[in-house]
Amino acid sequence: MCGIIGYIGKKEANRILISGLERLEYRGYDSAGVAIIDDNNNNENNDNKINTNKVKGRVENLKCKNIPGMIGIAHTRWATHGRPSDANAHPFVDKTQDFAIVHNGIIENYLELKEELRKEGVSFTSDTDSEVIVHLIARNYSNNIKEAVIKTVKKLQGAYAFCVIKNDKKEIIGARNGSPLIVGVGEEENFLASDVSAVVEYTKKVIYLGDFQIAEVKNDSLNIYDFNGDEKEIEIKTIDWNLELAQKDGYKHFMLKEIFEQPKVIEDTLKVKMDIKKDFSKIIMVACGTASYAGLVGKYLIEKIAKIPVTYEIASEFRYREPLIDENDLVIAISQSGETADTLAAIRLAKEKGAKTLGLINVVDSTIAREVDDVLYTRAGPEIGVASTKAFISQLILIYKLAFKLAGKEFYFDLNKFKETLSLNEKLKELAKKYFLYQNFLYIGRNTSFPLALEGALKLKEISYIHAEAYPAGELKHGPIALVSEDMPTLAICPMDEVYLKTFSNIEEIKARDGKVISIATEGDQKIKEISDDIIYVPKVEEIFYPLLITIPLQLFAYHIADLKECDIDKPRNLAKSVTVE
């Protein structure tokens, strides 16, 4: 989940590395650092130094120090092993300070490796798993970094992408197994990075490294090898978005900008063509986090519209069970990044069992997109805010299209209704002022509104740090109703659908126990005023389309509460955008 970038070329590396880290900061931001080869001492003795600058906290803390040099690597961290601190920040150097590495992933056998290295006299300066990599490379080195890396990766267990530099070598070596790593191809300069956002300012030509591959990158050449040292064919892709798409355009936060970009996202995603043959007996949705709630909405929709049985699986649980799937099943993986570790592992398990696989992915040529049998790309564009908004709506749109396609029907959605719902922004801003000091919330819904309750509660937790729990409304009496009080508001999703009266009764149960209720209801519903403290009305649509509209007030309510609490909305604590470790 960390972000890494490397640069080699004719320009000063420090500014390029820090600029790239700022675009990768969504992947982690509890510490950051750079390591740059200072080749001002370039002479017969090859006594160049690797200078480092690493600090606890945000990338901007690196800007107070400028390190000269044209070859370097950098890292922004999401902690897995070791607390955020200067000492645990990357890059790490070996005891001679001839080598430096940055690493994204988890080395599962680092304790055994650490003990092995300690017996050889190696001293460690951090509590991380990553530091073992640099000491192993130094131990394995014999005048060829690539060969040292090949020897090192054979000792590593777990998922990783790392880059290494040596003080007297004009090259960067990158290796990948399970964590993303791309090569940016420039003119007399090249890059390595966790994703294209870090390099798009400088080049649109990229190479996506596969698992068990090594990149040997110089300023004027590059080669790709497998872990046996055999050279691989290079395939350069051109990315089709630019840096302007990642700017705030006057919005206070990226999250708010991305909420208001959703009509365009829907419009673009509606254009996705799909050729799906109904040659399977059931569908299994696998995903994590917000994407999993899109999958749960999909279960309801596909079963209702296409009459195909669907199971919903959290990827991190699916992979450790013995799921009963075979060649007659379709496994659909949903992931914004296309790099989500648990979802990727679930797809690999499904393929081992012979199932057909389909990806609903936002990032073109990401790992999951390359490994599934077929892929449908959401058209969300780059999503910078850590809390997913427009990616979620694009996932829903693709799922609607898929459900209608499988049913042999045309899918049409009135985008004007969605735009109309966005006009609730000011009302939700005022509503947030009434509720932002509460510390606990319940979210309830039935049928397709239940996964929306899950997503709404998650948004509130992610960006405002308020405790929120979501339940099917019918489950209130089975325990959660004990939590109802004046101090714990309930957000009830109650549109005019087939379960309206049932949800209405659940709201009455809450009011009978002095609970405060915010209802999301259908425009024109006067009856719900009797049992609600506050109401957010969404336009009236065919009931199957309410999830698309209700998503908006859930996002905006969480956003405005977090803004009133002065939270770091785009970079909430402890979170990263792309979860590339277990």
Among 215, 239, 263, give the residue marking a domain's end: 239
CATH code (residue 147): 3.60.20.10
CA 228 to chain centre: 31
Does a structural domain hold residue 362? yes
Does a structural domain hold residue 577? no
CATH code (residue 447): 3.40.50.10490
pLDDT at 576: 63
Triad 3, 466, 561: Cα angle to 5°: 90
Q: Are 460 and 468 spatial neighbours (Cβ–Cβ below 8 Å)? A: yes
Among 239, 257, 282, give the residue marking a domain's end: 239
Answer yes or no: do 264 and 208 share one domain: no
Does a structural domain hold residue 95? yes
Answer yes or no: do 347 and 434 share one domain: no
Does a structural domain hold residue 56? yes
Does a structural domain hold residue 578? no
- Of 390, 401, 459, 577, catalytic: 577
Please count the CA atoms within 13 angstroms of the CA of 79 that sit on its side-chain side: 18
How many domains does one find in the chain?
Answer: 3
SS3 517: strand
Q: Are 504 and 444 spatial neighbours (Cβ–Cβ below 8 Å)? A: no
Answer yes or no: do 332 and 459 share one domain: no
Integer Cα distance of 230 and 361 in angstroms: 31
Q: Indicate if 64 belongs to the active site.
A: no
Per-residue pLDDT of the chain (582 residues; tens, 9 = 90+): 688 999 999 999 999 999 999 888 877 778 999 999 987 654 445 568 999 999 898 888 889 889 999 999 999 987 777 888 888 999 999 999 999 999 998 899 999 999 999 999 999 999 999 999 999 999 999 999 999 999 999 999 988 999 999 999 999 999 999 888 999 999 999 999 998 888 988 999 999 999 999 999 999 999 999 999 999 999 998 887 665 555 667 789 989 999 999 999 999 999 999 988 888 999 999 999 999 999 999 999 999 999 999 999 999 998 788 888 999 999 999 999 888 889 999 999 999 999 999 999 998 888 899 999 999 999 888 888 889 999 999 999 999 999 999 999 999 999 999 999 999 999 999 999 999 999 999 999 999 999 999 999 999 999 999 999 999 999 988 998 888 988 999 999 999 999 999 999 999 999 989 899 999 999 999 999 999 999 999 999 999 999 999 999 999 999 999 999 999 998 888 776 555 555
Residue with tokens 């300069």: 189
Q: Which of 388, 385, 383 is nearest to 292 (CA)?
A: 388
pLDDT at 246: 55
Q: Which of 166, 98, 168, 156 is nearest to 130 (CA)?
A: 156
Backbone φ and ψ of 261, nearest 5°: -80, -5
Peptide bond into 91 cis (omega under 30): yes
pLDDT at 241: 62
Longest dimension (CA), the chain: 86
Integer Cα distance of 409 and 538 in angstroms: 26
Answer yes or no: do 398 and 489 share one domain: no
Answer yes or no: do 136 and 257 share one domain: no
Question: What does R_g of the chain's alpha carbons equal in angstroms?
Answer: 25
Answer yes or no: do 81 and 116 share one domain: yes
Answer yes or no: do 338 and 229 share one domain: no
Does a structural domain hold residue 579? no
Q: Which of 26, 25, 96, 93 is nearest to 61 (CA)?
A: 25
Does a structural domain hold residue 393? yes
pLDDT at 43: 45
Single-letter amino acid code for the residue at 351: K
DSSP 476: G
Answer yes or no: do 217 and 71 share one domain: yes
- Of 2, 163, 288, 494, catalytic: 2
The H or E element that residue 195 is part of is none
Q: Are 73 and 35 spatial neighbours (Cβ–Cβ below 8 Å)? A: yes
pLDDT at 39: 75
Integer Cα distance of 128 and 325 in angstroms: 38
Answer yes or no: do 195 and 255 share one domain: no
Residue with tokens 């740059």: 36
Answer yes or no: do 282 and 384 share one domain: yes
Single-letter amino acid code for the residue at 7: Y
Q: Which of 89, 78, 96, 28 is nearest to 53 (CA)?
A: 89
Answer yes or no: do 482 and 404 share one domain: no
Beta-sheet strands, E only, within 47-98: 49-56, 71-77, 92-93
Answer yes or no: do 287 and 208 share one domain: no
Q: Are 40 and 68 spatial neighbours (Cβ–Cβ below 8 Å)? A: yes
Does a structural domain hold residue 581? no
Q: Indicate if 65 belongs to the active site.
A: no
Residue ranges making up the domain that contains 345: 248-412
Integer Cα distance of 438 and 460 in angstroms: 12
Among 412, 445, 476, give the residue marking a domain's end: 412
Beta pairing, strands 182-185 & 172-177: unpaired
